[in-house]
Amino acid sequence: MKLTTKLAKIKLDNPTILASGVLGVTAAALNRASKSGAGAVTTKSIGPQRREGHDNPVVVELDCGLLNAVGLSCPGPEESLRELTKAVKSIDKPVIASFYGKSILEFGHMAEFISKAKPDFIEANISCPNVGEFGLPFGCSAKTAGKITKAVKNSTDIPLIVKLTPNVVDIRAIAIEVEKNGADVICAINTVGPGMKIDVTSGYPILSNKTGGLSGECIKPIAVRCVYEISESVDIPVIGVGGVSSGIDAVEMLMAGAAAVGVGTAVWHHGVDVFQKITGELMDFMSENNYSSLDEIIGRSHG
Ligand SMILES: Cc1cc2nc3c(=O)[nH]c(=O)nc-3n(C[C@H](O)[C@H](O)[C@H](O)COP(=O)(O)O)c2cc1C
């Protein structure tokens, strides 16, 4: 039975990928996920400046997932590059370097900067606010998403993943523009919302930032729909992220059209052992249903 899959020209032993953010940027944390069975690992998004992020609490646990407002905390580009270089040298699986900028120009500069570590992929996180467009995330405008993709492609030869936000009217239009401007892979989705949770004893929102992005089980139907719509609209591979914590969740994402699946909140809840659990359950599903390779599953729901 074959669990291998391909993203652009890069082969993965199995389709599970550590999603950006939940384990940070250190080489040690990424190594743990890789050794525990992830098919590839993604760093937390690396930004152009050192940032403390928001005050605690930055994460709230919900019955169906998490709300987080980490505030793009980052140890700074130099320290992040050191850790990324260590990770690339010590991990024998593909390493994806996630990054962001605060302008289109800065996305280009950051892409060039982190490419020095020679990761297998760079992943542009375009879900962060564009100061120039009154705080609207870059990924909410197809035109801006296309411009970022082009700026990044002109700055590096490393294969590019563009990570999309689901908080848009038509994710297909964004995906088409991103593909047209040279993205090699699309990753979908980032967190949904923002949402809010109020502590009814104090009467105040729990997060110091008041609102945060929603992730985990409760966003899976949105992620599956986004992956379905994107894979119907573009030819490049899609990484499906959002609420995956079991082999059956992974099958659903693959059937929607994903070539690989990102796992974030499930790592937060269950630790890095979740990768082996997901691949084990995926293999059980395949043998019970007479599938011998992922190619027979990927995109099946499109008929
Ligand atoms: C605590 C936390 C931090 C995150 N940080 C990042 C980040 O730095 N960059 C990014 O692109 N996505 C970030 N994400 C989003 C995840 O990578 C993922 O897209 C989202 O949580 C949906 O997947 P999940 O339901 O498996 O968590 C973060 C999510 C969480 C919960």
Q: For position 134, what pLDDT does the model report?
A: 55
Q: Regarding beta strands 185-188 and 212-215, do their DSSP bridges make them parallel or antiparallel, or are they unpaired?
A: unpaired
Q: Which of 173, 145, 175, 168 has the alpha carbon at shortest distance from 257?
A: 175
What residue ranges do the domains of the chain occupy? Answer: 5-302
pLDDT over 60 (residue 59): yes
Fold of 5-302: TIM Barrel (3.20.20)
pLDDT at 223: 98
On whether the CB atoms of residues 124 and 152 are closer than 8 A, the answer is: yes
- Return the percentage of the chain with pLDDT > 70, whole number: 98
The per-residue pLDDT for range 132-172, each reduced to its tens digit, is 555 678 888 999 999 999 999 999 999 999 999 999 999 99
Average model confidence (pLDDT) across the chain: 94
Residue-level pLDDT at 136:
72
Task: Give the pLDDT confidence of 80-134 residue by residue, as tens digits.
Answer: 999 999 999 999 999 999 999 989 999 999 999 999 999 999 999 998 765 555 5
Spatial CA neighbour of 183 closest among 230, 225, 140:
230
- The binding-site residues of ligand 1, defined as CB within 6 angstroms of any ligand atom, are 19-22, 44-45, 59, 66, 68, 70, 98, 125, 163, 190-191, 215-216, 219, 241-244, 263-266
CA 22 / ligand 1 centre spacing (Å): 6
Amino acid at 247: G
pLDDT at 25: 81
Give the predicted TM-score (pTM) of the model.
Answer: 0.97
For residue 39, pLDDT beyond 60:
yes
Ligand 1 center from residue 194 Cα (angstroms): 13
